[in-house]
Amino acid sequence: SKDEAGGVDAQVKLCRKLILEDKMDVVLGYISSASCLAVLPLSDELGGLIIAYDCGTHELMEEKTSPYKVPKFKLGFRSKAHLGIDNIGLALYIKKNYPKTKKVAGINPDYAWGRDSWLIFEVAMKKLMPQVEVVKTLWPPLGNTDFTAHISALMGAEPDIVHSSLWGGDAVTFSKQAIGMGFFKKIRMAYSRGEPYPQEVGKDYPENQIICCAGTHYFLFTPKDKASADLQKMFVAEYHKKYGKYPTYPCYHAYQAIYAYKHAVEKAAKEVGGWPTIEEISKALTGITFPTPSGILTIREDHNGYEDCLVGITKLTPKYPFPILDKTEVFPAAQVNPPVGTKTVDWINSWK
């Protein structure tokens, strides 16, 4: 286990070492979209299997034009859906539940993940609700510690809803500072991956905030199929027993990567009658479908995961020491994932 620290160059050097010197069978990892954009091309270059488990940029597997060649990398995979589902899901939820929205703003981290998240949300909103005006877009650096000026600027713009793909410590810091400044008394947030933060902030986290779960990665979600539902029950219970908290979307993403590899190795081994080669595992991974705690996961022929997406709003309840999600809606995978070979933006713009 290695830490994803030190920036993109450090991750490229580390990945080269893991594949060429340490002869790893597979590299599973990467939270950062910037890391994935730099590292995943190494899969084919070095002949090593890489499964990205969390990074979200839609650009990772897409080429510049539609239709594009599939797959982009023979040995590079992402065991989850890209950020299209997060931001399209938010836009669909806003159109359905907040049809009177007139003004939106955005605060997103200033790198691939934040820029791409806002791009897809803005394109989807313009298509679904063309009357909506963008009144402010802010781009704080990743790891920002003081959001007070950003919060003041957003409050001054008076949007109905503020879109954000802030995550980790940035999302917690922003939320706490915004609470202190009375931000949530006037403005509603729409977090593309806000699912962990009510639990992190606690009972002070405001109600009626729109939150996407980066899929159906929510501890109170019950998958429709029994195998996945049983896994979810076990996963939530065991995680809570060990950590005293409930699993959040990165935990589900890590599960998906590990078990995608496990199922692919088992599938390939059965077919070849022994331990499979990297190429045979890659072939088995392509198109594989298996149960997870979040439901059935498919790895498509473009090497992206294919998932439904859950969105809801925060609501306090006596049962938990933090707001849970109410008025949840699950958008089917076909509604939030572009077809194979079609760029996400092109697909949204083709909607009738």
Summarised one tens digit per residue, pLDDT across range 183-217 is 999 999 999 999 999 999 999 999 999 999 999 99
Residues 6+ apart with CB under 8 A from 32: 4, 8, 55, 111, 113
Neighbours of 168 (CB within 10 A): 16
The kind and range of the H/E element at 330 are strand 324-331
pLDDT value for 5: 86
pLDDT-derived band at 111 (thresholds 50, 70, 90) equals very high
Q: What is the pLDDT of residues 305-320, one digit of tens each?
A: 999 999 999 999 999 9
**Percent of all residues in the chain with a pLDDT value above 70, rounded to a whole number:** 100
Residues 226-255, mean pLDDT to the nearest whole number: 98
Per-residue confidence (pLDDT) for residue 233, from 0 to 100: 98
Q: pLDDT grade, residue 127 (50/70/90)?
A: very high
Give Cα 5 distance to the centre of its chain. Answer: 20
- Residue pLDDT, tens place only, 78-94: 999 999 999 999 999 99
pLDDT digits (tens, 9 = 90+) for 158-182: 999 999 999 999 999 999 999 999 9
CA 129 to CA 45: how far, in whole Å? 43
pLDDT tens figures, 279-290: 999 999 999 999
- pLDDT for residue 1: 84
What count of Cα atoms within 13 Å lies in the side-chain half-sphere of residue 311?
Answer: 24
